[in-house]
Structure 1
């Protein structure tokens, strides 16, 4: 856990998204001590075949949301809570994220709330969050997909983007048939790390323009490490290969931070 956080910091990251899972206490303690921000997701309900929770399941989801916030709110690394991701288990008939956002704010008024990351955004929470992998659309006047148009009254955020894949030998993969057979589902796939870096630099350059010209205030590159079936991480599954050109990657991230700082200090924007 410490290795992963240190590796991300060495590349220039100042934040990570803990995606639909909760880590052991040691992880958050390490994040506090090492100094990196965490966007903490609530684990999702069922996603298959558009199955939505019944009343009992929704009540349990709310109970566990309260448990998560109450249990983790003492960790200073957590800067925001996330309730729903891409509509997974999110009822749309009465938009429960509105009430759940108010509940989270009552439990912890010190943090931001991302009510709906990616899809089914009905105006709740502090973020207007877009997911678009191959072309970021962070706080921009154009959009496609299911995120809806940017809401200028909230924080422009790219909750997921990037995602170029780099195929590696089986030595570095999680070697089960389902994982190997799913590699082709990665958003884009390149056969060399050099090509991967060219594509990654282009995507970060697109994001930079959106920070400079529009209302992009933050973004989450996907992902930190390879997982089962996706080979798009900063590191391979076994942590033996770090894909980014470290010097160039740090420069790209520093350019994003500098552009954001410049916007925040410019009164006419």
Structure 2
């Protein structure tokens, strides 16, 4: 049923326990600008289940010689935040739905069309809110472990890698993530590994895991190794670079890899500039406070923070205009304990961005992406 008109647009009967397909004629497509959704009613005997869906395609193709992500067949520059989902009164547990929606609505109001849900899986209400608001979601697989090393008896240092049982459990839970979350239309990309955390570097498991995710869900793109240790798996070629972006460009910094033009160029993380507010808005725990000076850059005033943000957004704008940058992820939505680089403070009381400036800068990214598109270019591959 069309939510706006309340008209029934399609019906179908099938046999329980068996899959079936049917056609919906000329549906309104889902996008960040028009988050069209349709209500569904499934009746089996005396039981009735209510749900919803959205119609949209996520694919990749060459547009004016550059590999691009495509939404409903067209290139749309994707710009979002790293969204860790931490809360001072519940850590990983949000206080209520209204608080969750406030974060998402703040991003939408600033002009973001996407977010990266960083190494956390949220409740169904979260993805439902993204579906209804029109926020694309890049969904991380929670990392198996951070990068750690140990010193052996011969004084050599080696990276601690997952053993076979840990790797098997990681794969099992990756399958659960994809099968559980794939009904939500807002999810457009799966991320398997973040910055090498838990990534076995001795036999490149990301290739097999990418194939597994593709089999489970051929309708979305896959960022197999965001950050670094990228050996060519998946749909994206990106790096993480604080504070300055290096997006689809002919320059990069180790440990990231050079841009691979056979895949989509994206800035997986950048920004990260901080502003230390009063103790009233910080996570008032000494262990967190002493880590504040590890922030990539600290700006002493909000005016300085907005100036630096404007400069960095201008840098990625240049890379959209000049090179092959197709998307970016700003770090981050909110402060997280000792990290004071959020658009919002940890208590959500202070919004750092100059709203009109950020809206203008973000819109400029979308305009630059649109200026480089060509709707007549054929899609080379679709997922």
How would you bin the TM-score normalised by the shorter chain? over 0.9
Residue 266 (structure 1) shift:
8.8
Q: Which residue of 1 aligns with 2:325?
A: 216
Q: Which residue of 1 aligns with 2:367?
A: 258
Superposed counterparts of 1:104-253, under 5 Å: 104-253=213-362
TM-score (norm 2): 0.69
Q: Does structure 1 residue 19 correspond to structure 2 residue 118?
A: yes
Superposed counterparts of 1:50-65, under 5 Å: 50-65=159-174
Residue 265 (structure 1) shift:
2.7
Per-residue CA deviations over 1:136-171 (Å, capped at 9, x if unaligned) read 100001111211110000000000000110000110
Task: Output the CA distance in 1 between the equivalents of 2:275 and 2:375.
Answer: 39
User: Where does the alignment leave 5 or more consecutive residues of structure 1 unmatched?
Assistant: none
Among candidates 205, 221, 229, match of residue 96 of structure 1: 205
Q: Which residue of 1 aligns with 2:127?
A: 28
Q: Which residue of 2 aligns with 1:3?
A: 102
Task: Output the CA distance in 1 between the equivalents of 2:174 and 2:371.
Answer: 37
Residue 267 (structure 1) shift:
8.7
Task: Output the CA distance in 2 between the equivalents of 1:141 and 1:233.
Answer: 29
Task: Output the CA distance in 2 between the equivalents of 1:107 and 1:243.
Answer: 40
Q: Is this contact kept in 2: 1:132–1:145, CA < 8 A?
A: no
User: Relative CO higher for 1 or 2, CA cutoff 8 Å, sep ≥ 6?
Assistant: 2
Larger radius of gyration: 2
Task: Output the CA distance in 2 between the equivalents of 1:37 and 1:179.
Answer: 31
Superposed counterparts of 1:59-74, under 5 Å: 59-74=168-183
Q: What count of residue pairs does the alignment treat as equivalent? A: 268
Name the stretch that deviates more: 20-29 or 57-66: 20-29
Task: Output the CA distance in 2 between the equivalents of 1:222 and 1:201.
Answer: 14
Report the aligned-residue RMSD.
1.2
User: Hey, which of these two has a bigger chunk of strand by percent?
Assistant: 2
State the secondary structure of the residue aligned to 2:225. Answer: strand
User: Hey, which of these two has a bigger chunk of helix by percent?
Assistant: 1
Runs of 4+ in 1 over 4 A off after TM superposition: none
Residue 240 (structure 1) shift:
0.6
